[in-house]
Structure 1
Amino acid sequence: MTPDLDRLRSALGRPGRPSSDFDLNPETVLPAGRKLRPAGVLAPIVQKRDTLHLLLTKRSSALKHHPGQIAFPGGKQDEGDTDVTAAALREAHEEIGLPPQNVDILGSLPAHETVTGFTVTPVIGLVTSSFDIVPEPGEVDEVFSVPLSHVLNEDNYLVQSRRWRGHMRSYFAVPYGPYYIWGATARMLRAWTDQISQ
């Protein structure tokens, strides 16, 4: 399946289902009254010749949280952000040098709850003009692209497990070449895959 912009916009206009890091682990007991912090991540789509690609980052191996993992540019909503979309655009500018004015927002997916206590809204945006990718020193080791058709194909997804806090936890993964895309990033991409295939 080769996604096009009209199909992407149409899918994002339909209601979807929220996702979480616990979807594949129904036995997980979440604490009552937990407070989740809002965050936004940007899924920047770029056109390469006649193919749509998705920009992703490889987090710095020096970071305390999720070192070396594949992630969307983004982060928690700050007081100065009007909403999670503004947070996603600000963080993408800081992390990879993407100017907010270069992004046409196509829509967003339902929020995703992470094990780290965030409710993350994936914001889908088309990069409308070229820009110089500048990884933020100390936070981003690499910025790379993956064909959108790869991460929006459910046949490319695996369910794998690893031990986390003394328990086995299952999660989605969608490997691409040398890049192991897993955890929250893969779960949000899988939710997008489900929504576009409805």
Structure 2
Amino acid sequence: MNAMAPFDVDFAREMIRTTAHPDSGGDHLKKASVFMLMRTPETDPTILAILKADNKGYPWANQVAFPGGHQDPVDPSSLSTAYRELEEETGILPDQVDLIGSLGHFQTIKSTEIEAFFGIWHGEEEEVVYDTSEIARIVMIPLGEVVKTHHEKAYSGRVPGWDELLYPVEDMAVWGATARIFHYFTELLLV
């Protein structure tokens, strides 16, 4: 684990509130929402992620992702989708999350547009309950490791291609849209 300075939640809230984030690509894309949740920002900031289960034919098998999923017609907003999916996938309830705001929209290579929400989670890894048919395990990612990789790979000030943008975590790698969200977040708040 790589220790880092305390995370300034008030600064994050202000930056997220006042920055123009990546905009929607249009109605022709499938809509999804995710939650990027941080735990213990004042001492050892970690980000909650999930490792998708190794299900044959599942397009996201063995991928590290943020809790979330596709918007249902009954969801009144993308934030509602994010909260619903968060509870379904991890058992984390809305009252356990201090919503900081939206980080914007990120497109996948499979014509899906993900709206990413950032929040502070007031809970412990042991409290997370998940469906093992969908999720292999919970992955707590030290923010310090993300920042270290960001600097070591010289990602600062540029947008690396899909084939280059990787954040190693334990014996896995964060890539794709999840890596794009990490990159954007790091550029926005920590560089």
TM range (shorter): 0.7 to 0.9
* TM-score (structure 2 length as normaliser): 0.82
Question: In structure 1, what is the equivalent of residue 108 of structure 2?
Answer: 114
Match of 2:118 in 1: 124
Aligned residues with identical type, % of pairs: 26
Structure 1 partner of 2:177:
184
**Cα offset for 1:129?**
4.2
Q: Is the 8 A contact 1:19 1:113 kept in 2?
A: no
TM-score computed with the length of structure 1 as normaliser: 0.79
User: Residues 66 and 156 from structure 1, CA distance in 2 versus in 1: closer, same or farther, beyond 3 angstroms?
Assistant: farther
SS of corresponding position for 2:45: strand
Identify, as 1 or 2, the structure richer in strand.
1
CA contact (8 A) 1:152 1:189 kept: no
Match of 1:165 in 2: none
SS state at 1:108 partner: strand
Matched residues in 2 for 1:169 and 1:122: separation?
A: 18
SS in 2 for 1:172: coil
Per-residue deviation, 1:152: 4.0
Change in CA separation of 1:185 and 1:150 when aligned onto 2, cut-off 3 Å: same
Whether contact under 8 Å (2:162, 2:176) holds in the other structure is no
**Match of residue 73 from structure 1:** 67
Aligned-pair Cα RMSD in Å: 2.7
1:42 aligns with 2:38: no
Q: Distance in 1 between matches of 2:162 and 2:18?
A: 30
Is the CA contact 1:19–1:191 (under 8 Å) kept in the aligned structure 2?
no
Q: Report deviation, 1:146.
A: 1.1
The structure that is helix-richer by fraction is 2
Aligned twin of 1:105: 99
Aligned-partner Cα distance in 1 for 2:77–2:27: 21
**Per-residue deviation at 1:11?**
2.0
* Deviations 1:2-29, CA, capped at 9 Å, x for gaps: 3321222122123244289xxxxxxxxx
Unpaired stretches in structure 1, ≥5 consecutive residues: 21-32, 160-167
When the two structures are aligned, how many residues end up with a matched partner?
Answer: 178
Structure 1 residues 59 and 129 mapped into 2: Cα distance closer, same or farther (>3 Å)? closer
Q: Partner residue of 1:4?
A: 8
User: For the Cα contact (< 8 Å) 1:157–1:174, is it kept in 2?
Assistant: no
Shift of 1:137: 2.5
Structure 2 CA distance, aligned partners of 1:158 and 1:86? 36
Return closer, same or farther for 1:94/1:158 CA change in 2, 3 Å cut-off.
farther
* Residue ranges of structure 2 left out of the alignment (5+ in a row): 156-160
Deviation at 1:176, TM superposition (A): 2.1
